[in-house]
Amino acid sequence: MFTLNDDERAIGATARQFADEFLAPNALEWDERKHFPVDVLRKAGPVGFGGICVGDDVGGSDLRRLDAVRIFEQLATGCPSVAAYISIHNMATWMIDEYGTEWQRRRWVPGMASMELLGSYALTEPGVGSDAAALTTKAVRDGDDYVLTGAKQFISGAGANDLYVMMVRTGGEGPRGISALIVPADTPGLSVGPNEKKMGWNAQPTRQVILEDARVPVANRLGAEGDGFSIAMNGLNSGRLNIAACSIGGAQAALEKTVAYLSERHAFGQSLIRNDALRFDLADMATELEAARTLLWRAAAALDEGAPDKVALCAMAKRFATDVGFEVANKALQLHGGYGYLHEYGLEKIVRDLRVHQILEGTNEIMRVVVARALTGAA
């Protein structure tokens, strides 16, 4: 797992090349303009980044979670915001591939793998965040359709997406009353709210998705009625790993920028890179990132293998890597002094982008709950 073969190195190199060529040169402009680069996302599909862990019979790359986290780390060196959207798209694509009927797989997955169709995951609601099992968006059966009423909050890509993998309530209270539906964005009765004004992640839109008597065919349901909560949680395992990888990648870019800056900057008669106190800071930053990367790879391998402790390890990796990523990026900004606070140096953007990773895909407080339950056996 820790010694990469030629194919694994090539996968990482391809992702870094894509980040260097298409993401990094445009990241600051996209952030400033709040521009969602759909044209660049279309380029990511043919490279294999639209369906990384999806079957090759429907256009996917058929890679492991371990490959995916290495890809997302490299993509995030160019722009954490765009890399994170690609992660969310991949989560939705995998859920259809994994839980969909053959008709559903062949109807939607090839277009999503090529990124001609953009998808997202819709679980959170305006009044329901961490307590996802309490969601209230209703789907009432009416013949061959479900009629959907409610709203989803903080949905990445909303307004530009072609479809949503959406969790809705088809039954009673609690997780067993939740089902998963593929909801096309052009469904009559579906609309989106204004783009949220955010601290970071400005290169992808975040909006409410509003449902007012929106009709979705029963044929669009993933699995049976009542399977939605378990489908959502299984999707989140991979989402947590990928967001952890995006944190490591963004922080790695910040560290690389800092080494270059300290090498060029002179003060007190010498290059700052010769100052032992600053070198120790760099050493600590690199060590923390390597520790986070090692735990992430361990968790990804456990998910690939279906290990009994996979859920706890995914939660550990998400909590640790997103905390470390933010702290390393913040330290990198500090080491740039006043220049780190300027937009043109790119550090403040990385800090803003990585901050939300400690909240989404399950807050880091919830990650501690998941790990504690695994340790104690508590429900």
The residues that are catalytic are: 361
Cα distance between residue 104 and residue 106, in whole Å: 6
Q: Residue 158 in contact with residue 209, Cβ under 8 Å?
A: yes
Q: Looking at the chain, which runs of residues are DSSP E strands? A: 119-122, 138-142, 145-156, 163-169, 178-184, 190-192, 206-217, 221-222, 266-267, 270-271
Say which DSSP state 191 is in.
E
Angle at 305 between CA 370 and CA 80, to 5 degrees: 65
- Among the listed residues 199, 200, 286, 300, the one whose alpha carbon sits nearest the alpha carbon of residue 242: 300
Closest CA to 9 of 64, 76, 70: 70
CA distance 32 to 356: 18
CA distance 90 to 53: 8
Residue 185, classed as helix, strand or coil, is coil
Tokens, residue 137: 């968006």
Q: What is the crossing angle of helices 347-355 and 310-335, to 10°?
A: 150
Q: Are strands 163-169 and 119-122 parallel, antiparallel or unpaired?
A: parallel
State the DSSP code for 36: -
What are the tokens at 5?
């073969």
Contacts with 341 (C-beta within 8 Å, 6 or more apart), sequence order: 333, 347, 348
Asked if residue 350 lies in contact with residue 327, where contact means CB atoms within 8 angstroms, the answer is no
Q: How many residues does the chain have?
A: 379
